[in-house]
Structure 1
Amino acid sequence: MPNYRRAFVPGGTWFFTVNLLEGKNNDLLIREVDLLRETVRAVKQRYPFQIDAWVVLPEHIHAVWTLPPGDADFSKRWRLIKSGFSRALPLTEYRSSVRKASGERGIWQRHFWEHLIRDEKDFERHVDYVHVNPVKHGLVSQVNQWPYSSFHRYVEKGIYPENWCGELEVSIKGDE
């Protein structure tokens, strides 16, 4: 078994992937996108962080965050987002006996994936990945067609042109 360790760099920037437990044919995150937004806003008020890039897909989220100087606790923020979102939903999902015994909901995967951003090029590459993801998954043919993305904020700021990536043909659906 690998000796997995998270990188905790106060004031650092990270790329995240956070998945629902039951991903296939699950559109919960876009169906409940307003609740997700409210939950994120509430957590940001208590534990500030900057959302550098964000995309909500039907069954997972990609995000790039920067934490305040002196703060490296991204895990607390994700825990509060996941639990706040889950508590606001009716208890209708399947829960394994293990999850029932531990009082857990059956909405999110327990863990998330994070990558510490190393430099400007790494940042740009991950922000691009976040924004192109709806095309990669075959949800739209152009990045600007997906409404649940920080891409539109980047266009408003003049960072990306409206037609960034143009029409893409994506034959593979799914993350690496």
Structure 2
Amino acid sequence: MEKLPKRKNIRIKDYDYSQNGYYFITICTKDRENLFWEEEYIINFGIGDLVLTNIGEIIKRGINDINNHYKNVKVHKYVIMPNHIHLILVLEGEMPKSPSVPRVIQQLKGIITKKVGFSIWQRSFYDQIIRNEKQYEEIWNYIDTNPLKWNEDKYYL
């Protein structure tokens, strides 16, 4: 029997993702399918106001619910793109009461999948630990300007 390729772990080895900190998260759709913006807006990019699809609206509610669901986890900023989302996730408070970043993302993806009725997500997610205020501001600005640069985005199809 042929050996299956080993899946690369994209998390930092031995890092405790339940410790207090700031995290930049990117979650993509399966096959980078454009599911979150109305097709008309993607085709006529930049003309008129952005309109989220029903799935995009479910994601928006799910992200906003993180702040209500977890005592020690907050979303400081997010953007919903056509085929991915970016967010700044903050874990703060008494340890070990905070859930880990992977657990929060797993629950978010699971709740959204259940409400949508089918799987929309790429396996796993990307994260970057935000280490200082300068990096935080750069990521904040990136999230702010990301929709304006959709045609240049590396996730653009």
TM-score in terms of structure 2 length: 0.69
> Which residue is equivalent to 1:34?
57
Q: What is the Cα deviation at residue 57 of structure 1?
A: 0.8
Q: What is the Cα deviation at residue 135 of structure 1?
A: 1.3
Asked whether 1:86 is paired with 2:113, we answer yes
Q: What is the Cα deviation at residue 72 of structure 1?
A: 5.7
Q: What is the Cα deviation at residue 111 of structure 1?
A: 1.1
Q: What is the Cα deviation at residue 3 of structure 1?
A: 6.5
What aligned pairs does 1:89-104 form with structure 2 within 5 A after superposition? 89-91=116-118
Q: 1:43 to 1:120 in 2, by over 3 A?
A: closer
Question: 2: distance between equivalents of 1:110 and 1:76?
Answer: 14
The code of the aligned residue for 2:154 comes to: G
Asked whether 1:14 is paired with 2:23, we answer yes
Question: 2: distance between equivalents of 1:119 and 1:72?
Answer: 22
- Answer whether contact 1:40 1:81 (CA < 8 A) is retained: yes
Question: 2: distance between equivalents of 1:74 and 1:57?
Answer: 21
Asked whether 1:57 is paired with 2:81, we answer yes
- Answer whether contact 2:77 2:87 (CA < 8 A) is retained: yes
The code of the aligned residue for 1:14 comes to: Y
> Which residue is equivalent to 1:77?
104
Using the aligned pairs only, state the percent identity.
22
Q: What is the Cα deviation at residue 9 of structure 1?
A: 5.7
Question: 2: distance between equivalents of 1:89 and 1:3?
Answer: 28
Q: 1:124 to 1:42 in 2, by over 3 A?
A: closer
The code of the aligned residue for 1:31 comes to: T
The code of the aligned residue for 2:88 comes to: V
Q: 1:84 to 1:136 in 2, by over 3 A?
A: same
> Which residue is equivalent to 1:68?
92
CA RMSD of aligned residues (A): 2.4
> Which residue is equivalent to 1:45?
68
Higher relative contact order (CA 8 A, sep 6+): 2
Higher strand share: 2
Gaps of 5+ in 2: 1-5, 38-51
Question: 1: distance between equivalents of 2:9 and 2:74?
Answer: 30
The code of the aligned residue for 1:21 comes to: K
Aligned pairs, number: 128
Gaps of 5+ in 1: 92-104, 139-171
The code of the aligned residue for 1:85 comes to: I
